[in-house]
Amino acid sequence: MGRSRRRARIAATSPAAANQQRAAARARTRAATEPAAPELRKILGAYLAGAIILAVLVLIGTLTLAGTLAPFLVLAVDAAAAYALYRWAQSRLAGLPLTDEDRVLQTLAGGLLVVVLAFAAIAAAILTVAG
């Protein structure tokens, strides 16, 4: 419904009903623009930080560990840690209202976990063939 129709409908009702409708509209707008809870941002920050730390550990493990099974060990540890981090974040974020910015952070962290896992798998395959 357009703004002009809504205003015409509100104007046609009684003043008390119009005030209630305006108050309800303001409350909906206020609820949509309120900042996220600090706990939510801490969870998302920890999720992203964990994904970044895992990426750094995979890089270090891939470059420093020697042996034919070392890349696969890095891949297995990465897969387990990525899955644990993903499950932890999903359990904490379940039921919380996420804004668009929160969803971007969540997608960024999840995407980084996927990229790190793909890097570990490709590195394991290349280092096995090259080694």
Provide the mean pLDDT of the chain. Answer: 84
* Average of per-residue pLDDT across 78-87: 96
pLDDT of residue 50: 96
Q: Given a cut of 80, is residue 53 above it in pLDDT?
A: yes
What confidence category does residue 65 fall into, taking pLDDT thresholds of 50, 70 and 90?
A: confident
- Give the count of beta carbons closer than 10 Å to the beta carbon of residue 123: 20
What confidence category does residue 81 fall into, taking pLDDT thresholds of 50, 70 and 90?
A: very high
Predicted TM-score (pTM) of the model is 0.70
Contact of 52 with 116, CB cutoff 8 Å: no
Exposed/middle/buried for 113, CB within 10 Å: 0-12, 13-18, 19+? Answer: buried
